[in-house]
């Protein structure tokens, strides 16, 4: 009888204790609930780790070791039969590096990616970064992890702002981060994630709209629901380039953002008013991140120099300056202040472009040295990065312009208003911004044709001829030869006298037609054509006065009876 009891004992996969076939199911329900409750205490806010299957030699009984003759009905509970328990000696850190296992809680999951080489945390260098062996973009390695190292957006996340207080209290609302490339949208999202994970208040998931399908989004939302139900922990979902999702894909987030299952943080370079669903936009707060100033770029570059162990040439004692890796064969690197200023100005407020340009210039100079080039004393050579090296890497100014995005409409509006204000210098500048950014010259020429009639009009009727000729010339020869033709037309229109008389009069006509109540008035009979006998019998063209047949002005009504006496050049439309 005792042998039968031992043979039918079943091992619990959670606590690894032995139970009979009659009690195992009831125990499993209780064991699973207690395991879910214990996962809430997982540090760093990460996912709960699986319990290591380590048998306690004190509490083990013969029933837990037996099981070779157990019932086949419960065979699924006995995994790794006949195999040694290799997890007994594993720690969370060693588990993270094994292939196919979950990452440990101590592994960084956002912010600065963990690299094989040295890293920079919170602006303090644990070890000076070796650029020659760096296999990641410098902008990614130096990504800030705290708001203290986040430069250039004080209007949004400064000390006394509403968003800063919400972030400090971990009351994070759903956000849409809108700004140009390289202004810090992704970095701000990672800083929020890092703060939330340290306090264990939320779980952070990153997706990119360029490579994520709707099914993957639904799976993440399903995981967020389980996380909230079992662990009472919210999920922060960061969607990079959220404008790449179409309207139906964006609708997937609506009910879950509404009920608080996920806190959505979307990053976009496009105007969210046009690219994000109105319903989703109403549930999020839009943060407008500005292009980084030259001063902010200077602070970012100085932080990079400290991390790379590079000193500005001519500042301090260059003889006593040495890198932390001075015992190696690496050269000592300096950079001119003028070269730093060049990066700050030419990157056009894009920190990613600025940092990667610095990395490119320094790496190019390191690679240009031969391994055997060293001083007689055995010390490595000095490298000085100059302004010419920076310009060679950048080639030209990094102009922010998107032919189908927000900057497209901003620049054409600025050109139109500058010509209207007769400011020829500003008109030339905005024209150059568009053409050098890759705008279609025919698009600009079409806008000039419109401007010639809308804003110049009858004050200079030849302006329309100039604009049409410019359009035809651009069509004939194309870029870059047609740029001077467009410049000539822009200057002509800026200097021409302005009159919006025609534009206003026709706008009044449109308002009159749109605001008219009831059927539109009929054409007066004397103004109608009468090509047939029947039309003549009906009174068409009767009493019409042919103007060339009279030597003087002719008194004749040309408007419908309801509009007699209306002057569209002075008429003001009434509210409908």
Q: How far apart are CA 118 and CA 125, in angstroms?
A: 8
- Would residue 147 count as lying in a domain? no
- Would residue 112 count as lying in a domain? no
Tell me the H-state helices in 39-153.
Answer: 62-65, 92-96, 138-141
Are 381 and 303 within one domain? yes
Cβ neighbours of residue 200 closer than 8 Å, sequence gap 6 or more: 42, 43, 44, 45, 233
Are 276 and 169 within one domain? yes
- Would residue 401 count as lying in a domain? no
The pLDDT tens digits of the residues spanning 523-546 come to 988 889 988 989 888 889 998 998
Are 303 and 283 within one domain? no
Structure-model confidence comparison of residues 528 and 318, the more confident one? 528
CATH of the domain at 331: 1.10.8.60
Are 284 and 174 within one domain? yes
Q: How far apart are CA 192 and CA 475, in angstroms?
A: 51
The pLDDT tens digits of the residues spanning 196-242 come to 877 777 888 888 888 888 888 889 999 988 888 888 888 889 999 89
- Would residue 58 count as lying in a domain? yes
Residue 328 neighbours by CB distance under 10 Å: 11
pLDDT reported for residue 55:
40
The pLDDT tens digits of the residues spanning 47-60 come to 444 444 444 443 44
pLDDT reported for residue 75:
40
385 has pLDDT over 60: yes
- Would residue 131 count as lying in a domain? no
Are 268 and 220 within one domain? yes
Residue 187 neighbours by CB distance under 10 Å: 24
The pLDDT tens digits of the residues spanning 156-203 come to 888 888 888 888 887 888 999 998 888 999 999 988 888 887 777 788
Are 359 and 384 within one domain? yes
Mean pLDDT of 510-520: 86
Structure-model confidence comparison of residues 463 and 319, the more confident one? 463
Mean pLDDT of 264-292: 89
Q: Number of folded domains in the chain?
A: 4
Domain that holds residue 412: 406-499
Out of 265, 288, 311, pick the residue that ends a domain: 288
Q: How far apart are CA 172 and CA 168, in angstroms?
A: 9
Contact 403, 438 (CB under 8 A): yes
Out of 59, 78, 97, pick the residue that ends a domain: 78
Are 196 and 262 within one domain? yes
Are 279 and 166 within one domain? yes
pLDDT reported for residue 118:
37
Confidence band (pLDDT; 50, 70, 90) for 147?
A: confident
Confidence band (pLDDT; 50, 70, 90) for 309?
A: confident
96 has pLDDT over 80: no
Q: How far apart are CA 345 and CA 328, in angstroms?
A: 34
Contact 458, 499 (CB under 8 A): yes
- Would residue 495 count as lying in a domain? yes
Are 369 and 440 within one domain? no
pLDDT reported for residue 401:
60
CATH of the domain at 259: 3.40.50.300
Tokens of 64: 């837990």
Percent of the chain, pLDDT > 70? 74
Q: What is the DSSP letter of 374?
A: B
Of the ranges 1-5, 295-299, 301-305, 434-438, which one carries the lowest mean pLDDT score? 1-5
- Would residue 120 count as lying in a domain? no
Mean pLDDT of 281-294: 89
CATH of the domain at 478: 1.20.272.10
pLDDT reported for residue 402:
59
Mean pLDDT of 444-454: 95
Structure-model confidence comparison of residues 24 and 576, the more confident one? 24
Are 159 and 284 within one domain? yes
For 537, phi and psi rounded to 5 degrees?
A: -65, -30
Are 173 and 280 within one domain? yes
- Would residue 91 count as lying in a domain? no
pLDDT reported for residue 444:
94
DSSP bridge partners of 176? 266, 286
Are 279 and 319 within one domain? no
pLDDT reported for residue 130:
73
pLDDT reported for residue 164:
84
The pLDDT tens digits of the residues spanning 388-421 come to 888 776 655 455 565 656 678 889 999 999 999 9
Out of 473, 499, 525, pick the residue that ends a domain: 499
């Amino acid at each position: 009888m005792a042998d039968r009891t031992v043979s039918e004992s079943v091992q619990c996969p959670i606590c690894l204790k032995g139970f009979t076939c009659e009690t195992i199911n009831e125990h499993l329900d209780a064991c699973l609930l207690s395991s879910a409750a214990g996962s809430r205490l997982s540090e760093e806010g990460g996912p709960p780790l699986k319990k290591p299957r380590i048998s306690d030699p004190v509490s083990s009984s013969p029933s837990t070791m037996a099981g070779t003759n157990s019932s086949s009905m419960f065979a699924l509970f006995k995994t790794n039969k006949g195999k040694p328990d290799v997890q007994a000696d594993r720690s969370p850190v060693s588990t993270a590096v094994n292939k196919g296992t979950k990452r440990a809680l101590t592994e960084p999951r956002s912010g600065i990616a963990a690299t094989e080489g040295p890293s920079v945390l919170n602006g303090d260098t644990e070890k000076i970064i070796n650029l020659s062996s760096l296999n990641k973009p410098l902008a990614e390695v130096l990504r800030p992890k705290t708001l203290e190292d986040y430069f250039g957006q004080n209007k949004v996340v400064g000390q006394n702002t509403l968003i800063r207080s919400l972030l400090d209290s971990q009351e994070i609302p759903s956000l849409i981060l809108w700004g140009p490339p390289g202004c810090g949208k992704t970095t701000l999202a990672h800083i929020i994630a890092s703060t939330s994970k340290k306090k264990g208040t939320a779980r952070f998931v990153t997706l990119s709209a360029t490579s994520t399908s709707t099914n993957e989004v639904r799976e993440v939302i399903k995981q967020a629901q389980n996380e909230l139900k079992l662990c009472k922990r919210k999920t922060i979902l960061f969607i990079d380039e959220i404008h790449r999702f179409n309207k139906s894909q964006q609708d997937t987030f609506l009910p879950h953002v509404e009920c608080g299952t996920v806190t959505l943080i979307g990053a976009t370079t496009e105007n969210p008013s046009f690219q994000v669903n109105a319903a989703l936009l109403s549930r999020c707060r839009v943060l407008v991140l500005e292009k980084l100033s030259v001063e902010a770029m200077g602070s970012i570059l100085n932080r990079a120099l400290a991390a790379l162990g590079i000193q500005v040439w001519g500042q301090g004692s260059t003889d006593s300056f040495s890198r932390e890796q001075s015992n190696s064969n690496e050269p000592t690197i300096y950079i001119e202040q003028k070269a730093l200023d060049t990066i700050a100005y030419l990157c056009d407020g894009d920190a990613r472009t600025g940092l990667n340009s610095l990395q490119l210039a320094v790496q190019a100079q390191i690679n240009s040295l031969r391994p055997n080039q060293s001083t007689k004393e055995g010390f490595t050579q000095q490298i000085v990065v100059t302004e010419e090296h920076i310009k060679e890497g950048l080639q030209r100014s990094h102009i922010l312009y998107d032919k189908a995005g927000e900057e497209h409409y901003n620049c054409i509006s600025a050109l139109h208003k500058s010509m209207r204000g007769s400011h020829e210098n500003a008109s030339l500048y905005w024209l150059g911004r568009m053409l050098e950014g890759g705008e279609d010259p025919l698009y600009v020429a079409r806008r000039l044709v419109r401007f010639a009639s809308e804003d110049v009009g009858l004050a200079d009727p030849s302006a329309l001829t100039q604009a049409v000729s410019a359009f035809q010339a651009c069509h004939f020869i194309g870029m870059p030869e047609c740029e001077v033709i467009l410049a000539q037309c822009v200057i002509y229109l800026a200097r021409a006298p302005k009159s919006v008389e025609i534009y206003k009069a026709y706008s009044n006509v449109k308002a009159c037609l749109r605001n008219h109540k009831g059927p539109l008035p009929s054409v007066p009979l004397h103004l109608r054509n009468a090509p047939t006998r029947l039309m003549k019998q009906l009174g068409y063209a009767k009493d019409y006065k042919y103007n060339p047949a009279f030597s003087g002005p002719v008194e004749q009504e040309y408007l419908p009876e309801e509009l007699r006496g209306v002057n569209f050049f002075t008429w003001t439309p009434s509210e409908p």
